[in-house]
Amino acid sequence: MTDNVKNLSIGLDSAIKDLGLPKSEALEAIFNKWEIIVGDKIAQFCKPNHFKDGVLYLKCADYTWFSQFKFYKKPIENAIQNKLQLKVPIEVQIMNVKGY
């Protein structure tokens, strides 16, 4: 059973690489180590929600932060890129504020 899981993991990582997406470990780190990656200031106002089609979607705490996102978009993308040393950049977009 362990070999099957390992083979599946290798196959998935290969497919992810072929699609130009980050490895599953990088996505896991984004969700589990968000505060470390982007810093406390950003983390207290927005958090990752889901990843789809090469885009990381964030939820924001309030409309003020939502309107200021354009100033933080590039720094967030750069922090993810640099701290996780990704070969393929991840784009971030913001979602509706409701449901944070």
DSSP 85: T
Residue 100 lies in a domain: no
Residue 53 lies in a domain: yes
What pLDDT, in 10s, does the model give residues 53-80?
889 999 988 888 888 888 999 999 999 9
DSSP string, 59-87: EESSHHHHHHHHHHHHHHHHHHHHHHT-S
Extract the tokens encoding 10. 């290798």
Residue 56 lies in a domain: yes
| Global pTM value | 0.73
> What percentage of the chain has pLDDT greater than the value 70?
72
Separation CA 61–CA 76 (nearest Å): 16
Q: Which residues of 75-95 are buried (b: 16+ CB within 10 A; e: fewer)?
A: ebbebbbeebeeeeebebebe
Domain of 87, CATH number, reads: 3.30.300
Q: How many domains does the chain have?
A: 1
Extract the tokens encoding 65. 């932060």
